[in-house]
């Protein structure tokens, strides 16, 4: 008996994007009639294939309700039909859209559905808006979308003047920590610590950890939490440009600690840029549990029209046809 009847006979491609672990189903015309239970079954790490979610690689025109989007972004021929590991489709922005978009572009190229040579770009539709993915040799870059300082009701400090607006209590760390709130495909709270030992001491691994974190003022919904330790700056040996470095951990509400997230990485880089002030690097190299990624934020990343770009590895590790 198949573990996922709605996906019987279908081939799933497994891929990693800096630790984001996804299954991708190439289904251009949306012919597969799978259910949430099917998705949950294949994503289960014990009885299924194990993944952080499933992506249907589908033509935008084959998805119901995309007429207005197609009219606004006609170049987005392909759409990221993204499902969480419990089988629920995402609504609005999702914390792994950037990583999933990079994987989707790599699959389109590998399967011969599009041809993406070095330097070529493709626009992909998502429920959080259009994203541009560019191939850079063995790496893939994604435009993560606009970012702004978040509006915080009764902030504990002036974010623009002091670099923080919310006090955060984190299990495993003594006292309250200052956080900067950002809007980037959802709400983020970024906290810096001084030592890597503090970063390691934070208790983020349990899915219930987000419920143990206290924010002052309390947000309407828990944000994604980025906890980082700055590691200084260095000159890129190839370009000579200054690059900021940091080690980062990420806690996603209701999920627990994740190995990587494009949006969370960009939020961390944006906070570092904001805290550094005048002369801050435009580029950052971040080390997460899932691997290293680069983030380009530019000179004025929180202004209208700006968007951070994340660059990192993508690996298609195998495929399986379900019985």
As annotated, the residues of the chain forming the CATH 3.10.310.10 domain(s) are 5-144+314-321, 148-307
Q: What is the DSSP string of 238-284?
A: TT--EEEEEEEEEEETTTEEES--HHHHHHHHHHHHHHH-TT--SEE
Is domain 5-144+314-321 annotated with CATH 3.10.310.10?
Answer: yes
Class of 148-307 in CATH: alpha beta
The angle at the Cα of 110, spanning 107 to 112, to the nearest 5 degrees, equals 105
**Tens digit of pLDDT for each residue in 29-63?**
999 999 999 999 999 999 999 998 999 999 999 99
Half-sphere exposure of 323 (CA within 13 A, CB side): 4
Helix axes 97-110, 262-276, angle to 10 degrees: 130
**Tens digit of pLDDT for each residue in 161-183?**
999 999 999 999 999 999 999 99
List of residues 6+ apart from 30 with CB closer than 8 A = 56, 58, 59, 62, 63, 81
Give CA–CA dist 278/273, Å, rounded: 9
Q: Is the peptide bond before 217 cis (omega within 30 degrees of 0)?
A: yes
User: What is the reported pTM?
Assistant: 0.92
Give CA–CA dist 44/84, Å, rounded: 11
- The answer to whether 100 touches 79, Cβ cutoff 8 Å, is no
Half-sphere exposure of 41 (CA within 13 A, CB side): 15
What CA–CA distances, in Å, run from 118 to 91, 135, 140? 32, 5, 10
Give CA–CA dist 100/53, Å, rounded: 9
Local confidence pLDDT in tens for the 323 residues of the chain: 578 999 999 999 999 998 789 999 999 999 999 999 999 999 999 999 999 899 999 999 999 999 999 999 999 999 999 998 889 887 655 556 899 999 999 999 999 999 999 999 999 999 888 999 999 999 999 999 899 999 999 999 999 999 999 999 999 999 999 999 999 988 999 999 999 999 999 998 776 777 889 999 999 889 999 999 999 999 988 888 899 999 999 998 877 898 889 999 999 999 999 999 999 999 999 999 999 999 999 999 999 889 999 999 999 999 999 98
Give CA–CA dist 255/88, Å, rounded: 14
Q: Parallel, antiparallel, or unpaired for β 291-296 and 315-321?
A: unpaired
């Amino acid at each position: 008996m198949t573990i996922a009847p709605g996906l019987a006979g279908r081939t799933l491609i497994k891929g990693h994007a800096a630790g984001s672990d996804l299954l991708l189903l190439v289904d251009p015309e949306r012919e597969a009639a799978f259910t949430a239970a099917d998705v949950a079954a294949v994503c289960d790490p014990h009885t299924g294939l194990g993944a952080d979610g499933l992506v249907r690689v589908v033509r935008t025109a084959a998805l119901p309700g995309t007429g207005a989007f197609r009219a606004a972004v006609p170049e987005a021929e392909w759409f990221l039909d993204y499902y969480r590991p419990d089988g629920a489709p995402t609504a609005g922005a999702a914390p792994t859209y950037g990583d999933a978009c990079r994987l989707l572009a790599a699959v389109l190229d590998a399967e011969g559905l599009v041809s993406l040579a070095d330097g070529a770009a493709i626009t992909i539709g998502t429920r959080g808006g259009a994203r541009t993915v560019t191939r850079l040799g063995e790496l893939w870059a994604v435009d993560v979308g606009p970012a702004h300082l978040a509006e915080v009701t009764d902030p504990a400090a002036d974010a623009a003047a002091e670099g923080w607006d919310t006090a955060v209590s984190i299990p495993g760390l003594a006292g309250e920590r200052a956080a900067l709130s950002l809007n980037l495909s959802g709400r983020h709270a970024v906290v810096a610590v001084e030592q890597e030992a503090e970063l390691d001491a934070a208790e983020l691994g349990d899915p219930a950890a987000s419920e143990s974190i206290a924010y002052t003022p309390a947000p309407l919904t828990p944000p994604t939490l980025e906890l980082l330790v700055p590691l200084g700056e260095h000159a890129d040996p190839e370009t000579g440009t200054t690059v900021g470095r940091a080690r980062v951990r990420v806690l996603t509400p209701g999920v627990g600690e994740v190995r990587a997230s494009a949006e969370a990485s960009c939020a961390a880089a944006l906070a570092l840029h904001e805290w550094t002030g005048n002369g801050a690097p435009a580029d950052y190299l971040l080390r997460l549990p899932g691997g290293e990624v680069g983030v380009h934020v530019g000179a004025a990343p929180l202004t209208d029209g700006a968007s951070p770009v994340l660059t990192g590895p993508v690996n298609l590790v195998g495929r399986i046809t379900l019985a």
